[in-house]
Amino acid sequence: MTTTTVDSSRTEHGSMKYVVGLSIVAALGGLLFGYDTAVISGGIGFLRAYFSLDAAETGWAASSALTGCLIGAAIAGWISDLSGRKRALMIAAILFTVSGVWSALADSLSSFALARIIGGVGIGMASLVCPLYIAEIAPAASRGKLVSINQFAIVSGILVVYFVNYFIANANTEPWNIQYGWRWMFGSETLPAVVFLVLLFVVPESPRWLVKQGKNESALGTLTRLGGKEHADRELASIREVIAQERGTTTQLFQPGMRIILVIGVVLAILQQVTGINVFMYYAPEIFKQLGSGTNAALLQTIIIGAVNLTFTIVALYTIDRFGRKPLMIIGSTGMGLSLAALGLAAYLQKTELWVLLFILGYIASFALSMGPVVWVVLSEIFPTHIRGRAMAIATLTLWAANYLVSQTFPMINESPWLVENFHHAAPFWLYALFCLVTIVFVVMFVPETKGKSLEEIEQMWRSRRAAAQDE
């Protein structure tokens, strides 16, 4: 339901607690995003043994959800623009629930993959709509921090499922885990999915979407509760002005002076993935086992990765609106590249697992401080209001395509006889390090700083650039 009445005690200054509360509920979609994508890390080894999978089939088992993510990202913008951000999130919650139950009951690789694809559609939708919704309700001064709550929720979901995987595997024997343990891992997603769906019934629709639908009174009520009466009047006028000035369709993104927005969004989305983050999210236990750890030790080391990921995401929450988006991406990509280069060297020299863990933790910390939260913040900010959902869909679609490519090919690259013989499992890490260098160059040359600007000010910046380009 949409909030149209406002507590008079909140009409002057609004309620920051209310803003944060709505952001947290929306970010539960991010928690399920992280939970659903990372659950595979604990189950993939047992799943591989249960279904007797080869390297390509293992890659498909791990990455099948990502094909669903492509579908979800492709339709999420259209659904969120047509029926609202709130309804899109509710659909995602239902898909998460269905996927959790189905994947736990799967009796073949194809059935399992189909269940994971359904969950992937939910992930793709949540990955787009959660940060979009938060960005559209957040005040400019704290938007970066609030949108980063979604990234905090993603890494929280990852850490929670690492614990779930560890306790399920640790409490039972290897044969039991091969037969049943992985089913409990995937089925455990059902509980947070149902909680997310229930909570969505009490959040309001995005005020910017309501204005686009001509529901100005409902939008004003929500804006008042978010920031107070003066803020609401000013924000409503600003939103209406921007929407009135914007006409046309997504094809505007390809016009001179505007297509750079699409390029920046798409390239950042791809670079977030081809720098290798989900190799560690999906395959970390198998990497550790490959380098000498037992099953329980590998899962425990994966929990350490999740804890570092969460810790440095919290750091990002406090730095993204202080230092800005661009400096964090440059610093973080540098740390990621150095860590990956060192990890590749350790793998090449066949050093102990301690060194491997330290280098992976350095990479994870650098990613969580920068490319993890910052890319989602930038994607939620840079596109014009009237096509923000569809434009984010294009960028998010390419993000999941890149994720699929990396996740599907990692086992094949990592287990390639020629590469193993000549590089001792170092090749994929050095490849991802090279993409970190590409990221640094691209951010320095093309990405603008959006810190402290309202969504309308960012849109005015792009409109000015378009006008300048048309005058040339």
The residue segments making up the domain with residue 154 are: 16-203+247-471
Alpha-carbon separation of residue 460 from 237, 239, 245, 259 (angstroms)? 15, 12, 10, 15
In a domain, 67, yes or no: yes
Number of domains in the chain: 1
In a domain, 54, yes or no: yes
Per-residue pLDDT, 316 = 84
| Rounded CA separation 55/90 (Å) | 36
| Rounded CA separation 46/177 (Å) | 6
In a domain, 126, yes or no: yes
In a domain, 304, yes or no: yes
Per-residue pLDDT, 470 = 61
Task: Write the CATH number for 394.
Answer: 1.20.1250.20
In a domain, 163, yes or no: yes
In a domain, 219, yes or no: no
Q: Are 93 and 423 in contact (CB under 8 A)?
A: no
Alpha-carbon separation of residue 355 from 103, 303, 344, 360, 429 (angstroms)? 35, 17, 11, 9, 14
Per-residue pLDDT, 69 = 85
Residues of the chain scoring pLDDT < 70: 1-14, 245-250, 252-253, 255-258, 291-296, 351-354, 385-387, 389-390, 465-472
Alpha-carbon separation of residue 35 from 69, 159, 462 (angstroms)? 14, 8, 36
DSSP string over 69-87: HHHHHHHHHHHHHHH-HHH
- Residue ranges of E strands in 210-367: none
In a domain, 94, yes or no: yes
| Rounded CA separation 312/469 (Å) | 40
In a domain, 2, yes or no: no
